[in-house]
Amino acid sequence: MIPIFVVAALAVLALLTQAGVVVLERLYRARGKTIDVRGARLNVVELGPLDAAGPAILLLHGASCNLEAMRKPLGDLLAQRRRVILIDRPGHGWSFRERHRDCTPQVHARMIEEALRKRGTGPIVLVVHSAAGALGARMALDYPDRVAGLVMLGPVTHPWYGGVGFYNRLVTTPVIGPLLAYTITLPLGLLLAESSARRVFLPQTMPENFVHDTATPLLLRPREFLANARDLVALKQAVADQAPRYGEISAPVTIISGEVDRTVSTVIHSRLFASAVPDAKLIVLADIGHMIQNAAPDVVVSEIEAMMDRIGQNTAAAAAN
Domain annotation for the chain: domains and CATH numbers? 4-310 (3.40.50.1820)
E strands present in the chain: 33-37, 40-47, 56-60, 84-87, 96-97, 124-129, 147-153, 253-258, 280-285
- State residue 73's pLDDT score: 85
- State residue 94's pLDDT score: 98
What's the predicted TM-score (pTM) here? 0.96
At residue 223, φ and ψ (nearest 5 deg) are -65, -35
Cβ–Cβ under 8 Å, residues 300 and 151: yes
Instruction: Report the sign of the C-alpha dihedral through residues 15, 16, 17, 22, in that order.
Output: positive
For residues 198 and 209, give the distance between their C-alpha atoms in angstroms, rounded to a whole number.
Answer: 11
In the chain, DSSP finds a helix count (H) and a strand count (E) of: 13, 9
- State residue 2's pLDDT score: 59
For strand 40-47 and strand 33-37, is the pairing parallel, antiparallel, or unpaired? Answer: antiparallel
Cβ–Cβ under 8 Å, residues 88 and 108: no
- State residue 45's pLDDT score: 98
pLDDT along the chain (321 residues), means of 10: 72 93 96 97 96 94 97 94 97 96 97 97 97 98 98 98 90 92 94 95 96 97 97 97 98 98 97 98 98 97 96 80 71
- State residue 3's pLDDT score: 74
- State residue 259's pLDDT score: 97
Q: List Cα–Cα distances, 133 to 26, 51, 103, 248, 306, in angstroms.
A: 31, 28, 14, 16, 20
Q: Determine if the peptide bond prior to 73 is cis (ω within 30°).
A: yes
Which residues on neighbouring strands pair with residue 124, listed in sequence order? 56, 147
